Structure 1
C-alpha cells in the first residue's frame, strides 16, 4: 500500500482568495443588523405587554443600529449606488439579494416605528410599523449567517447548520442587553429571561459548531478569533447570570449585565469574521476536508458493493 501523500499546496499559496472585507465594516454589519432585528421583536413584545419605556428604547436602538449596519455595508461596497444597484433584481437564491431587499423593507418600518413612538403621532400607523418591523426582525437578525455560509470560506460554509442559531442567539442577547442598559428595572422582567435564553443559545450553538467542524473548528479556537470567541463566552455567561440574579434589583447591575451581553455579541460577530479569514488563508482547511469527504464516499461505495451474507 502506498501511504497517503502529505498535504501540500502550490508554494504554500492559499487556494481561496481570502476575504478582503474590512472587519469593522462587515463584522459591524453583522452585529448591528442582529441588534436591530432582535430589538424590533422585543420592542413589539414590550409594547404588547404594557412596557412603553422599554418599547421606545428598543425601537430607537433598532433604528440607530440598522442605520449603522446599512452605513457599514455601503462603506464596504465603496459607493452608495452599488446598494441601489442590488435592488434592480430580486433573486431568491441569492442571500445578498434577499438581504438587500430585507434591509430596504425593514429600514423604513423600523424608522417609522421609532419616530412615531417618540413623537406620539399617528398611533395606529406606529403600531402597524412596529408589527411590520417585528415580522421582518428575525430574518434581519439571522440572514447574515446564511450570507456568510453561502461563500466558499471553510469556517463559514461548513458551519451552515449552526451559524444561524449562533447569530440568532447573539442578536437576542444583544437586544436584551440593550434593553437592560436603557430601560427601567421595573419593565425588564421578560427581557431578563430573553437575555438568558439568547446567551445560552449563542454559547450552545457555538460549542456544537466547533465540535462538529473538526479541524476547521480550530479557526474558532486559535488566534484572534479564538480570543474573541472565548471572551464572548465569558461575557455572555456573566451577563446572563447578572440578568437572572441581580438585574431585577439594581439599576447598576442591570446596566452592567446589559453592557456585558452587548460586548459578548460583538465579540462573537468579530470572532466569526476573523475565523473565516483565517480558514481561507490556510489551504489545508480547504483541501483536507475535501479529501476526507472523498475517502468517506469511496469507503461507503466499497461497503455497499461488497456481497451480502
Structure 2
C-alpha cells in the first residue's frame, strides 16, 4: 500500500486546480465553464398539494351570488335616480329586477352554505372588521328595503313607504354591489389578495354595467337615455379598472390572462364593447336593439365576475403564485433573493 505524503500545500502530487475541473479545460485559454450542481428551485409542495387550501366554493353559487348582488345593488341606485327624474316605468322595472336578483343571490349563498341556519348564524354577531359579517348585515338590511320598494311599485299601495324604501335600498345598494370584492380581497388567494386595493373597483363598474343593461332590457325606449349614458361610462370604467387590477396584481395577474379566466375576460370585453355600441347608436331609436344591447351588457358583467372567480381558484392551486410574491417582497426588503422557476 502506498502512502501519500502530506505537505503544507496539500497532498504531494495532487493538483486540485486540474483534477477538480468541470466542463471544458483551459487548453483554449478561456475560463472553464462550470456545470451547475444544484438544480433550479421549483414551486412545489409536499405530496404535490397546493400551498393554500383551495376554496371549495361552487362557481355557479358564489360567482352567481356576486353577479346578482351587483345587479341588485346598482339597480336600486339606478331605480331611485329614475324615480326622481320622472321615469316611473324604468324605476318600476329596476325595483322588480333588483328584488328578483337579491332573492336569487341570497338563495345561491344559502345553497353554498348548505342550510339556511348558517346564514342566520352569521347575524348573531356584528364584526366591522369582517367583510363576511358586514356583508351579511348589508343583505339583511337591503333585502327588506328592496322588497318594500318593489311591492309598492307593483301595487301602487303605500307610495310614501315605497319612496322611503327606494331611497334606503339606493343608499345600501352600492355597498351591496361592491362588498364581495372586498370579501375576496380579504382572503389569502393570490390573484385576489395581490390586487386588494383595486378589486372592488371593477366590481363597482361591472355592477353599473349590469344595472344599465337591465334598464335597457326592461325599461321603455323613451326613458332609456340616462341608462345609455351609464352603460357607456360603466363599460369604460370597467375596462380601466381591470387594467389597473392586472397591473397591481404583478405575477398573480397571470391567471387572469390564461385558461378559462382569460377567455372569460376576453369575452366580457367584447360583449361590453358590443353592448355599449348598440346602446349608444341604436337603443335610442329601436326597442329591440335596446333589449339586445341590455342583454349583452348583462352577459358582459356576468363574464367579468366569473373570470375573477376562476382566476382566484387557479392561483390558489398553483404554489408559485403564493411563493413567488413572498420571495419578491423579501428581496425588496433586503432578505433572500427569489428563486427562479
Q: Same fold (TM over 0.5)?
A: yes
Runs of 4+ that moved beyond 3 A: 2-5
Write out per-residue CA displacement over residues 126-157 of structure 1, whole angstroms, 9 at most, x where no aligned residue: 00000000000000000000001110000111
Aligned residue number for residue 128 of structure 2 = 92
The Cα of 1:96 is off from its aligned counterpart by 0.2
The Cα of 1:13 is off from its aligned counterpart by 2.2
* SS of residue paired to 1:137: helix
Taking the TM superposition and a 5 Å limit, the aligned residue runs for 1:34-73 are 34-73=70-109
The Cα of 1:246 is off from its aligned counterpart by 1.3
- Checking the alignment, whether the CA contact within 8 Å between 1:43 and 1:54 is kept in structure 2 is yes
2:305 is the alignment partner of 1:269: yes
The Cα of 1:237 is off from its aligned counterpart by 1.1
Alpha-carbon distance between aligned partners in 1 of 2:208 and 2:39, rounded to the nearest angstrom = 46
Pair member with larger Rg: 2
TM-score, normalised with respect to structure 1: 0.94
Aligned residue number for residue 43 of structure 2 = 8
Aligned residue number for residue 163 of structure 1 = 199
2:239 is the alignment partner of 1:208: no
* SS of residue paired to 2:188: coil
Taking the TM superposition and a 5 Å limit, the aligned residue runs for 1:28-177 are 28-177=64-213
Aligned residue number for residue 225 of structure 1 = 261
TM-score, normalised with respect to structure 2: 0.85
Aligned residue number for residue 270 of structure 2 = 234
Write out per-residue CA displacement over residues 282-307 of structure 1, whole angstroms, 9 at most, x where no aligned residue: 000000010001100117xxxxxxxx
Q: Which range moves more in the overlay, 213-222 or 177-186?
A: 213-222
Aligned residue number for residue 59 of structure 2 = 23
Write out per-residue CA displacement over residues 18-42 of structure 1, whole angstroms, 9 at most, x where no aligned residue: 1100000000000000000000000
- Checking the alignment, whether the CA contact within 8 Å between 1:7 and 1:288 is kept in structure 2 is no
Aligned match of 1:178 in 214, 229, 232?
Answer: 214
* SS of residue paired to 1:161: coil
Alpha-carbon distance between aligned partners in 2 of 1:58 and 1:103, rounded to the nearest angstrom = 18
Q: Which range moves more in the overlay, 109-118 or 244-253?
A: 244-253
2:268 is the alignment partner of 1:250: no
Aligned residue number for residue 302 of structure 1 = none
2:306 is the alignment partner of 1:289: no
The Cα of 1:186 is off from its aligned counterpart by 0.7
- Checking the alignment, whether the CA contact within 8 Å between 1:154 and 1:276 is kept in structure 2 is yes
- Checking the alignment, whether the CA contact within 8 Å between 1:171 and 1:265 is kept in structure 2 is yes
